[in-house]
Structure 1
Amino acid sequence: MDFDLRHAIMQNVANNTKEQLEDTIVDAIQRGEEKYLPGLGVLFEAIWKHSSEQQKDMMLSTLEQAVKQ
């Protein structure tokens, strides 16, 4: 069986609004369950691929500060 997790996750949220996407992210974080990590990773990958260099730099600065806490 060939299952593409990235594709399945992207298909699952393809027609979501910004509010629905936010709800999905917030819910996954609040639940804190390991099973949501791959989905969050796929969403982050999509954000990264569609970000400018300036946006990437901002995300990296935010991440750098977050991991130090």
Structure 2
Amino acid sequence: MATTRPYVLLSAAVSVDGYLDDAGPERLLLSSGEDFDRVDAVRADVDAILLGATAVRRDNPRLLVDSAK
């Protein structure tokens, strides 16, 4: 039975000591190439992507999807 209720999917890579990022000016890449491909495939199936303002300002994220649906 399919649900009609919306849901939220959270995807985050965390370092062994529990950090999402460091204090440096460059984006900290915690994921592998395979994980970036998996996230791209998930993005192809969602209706929206929510970002924090700091992530937008610091990382200038590329939100294009490479995967075909």
Both structures adopt the same fold (TM-score exceeding 0.5): no
Q: In proportion to residue count, which structure has more helix?
A: 1
TM-score by length of 2: 0.31
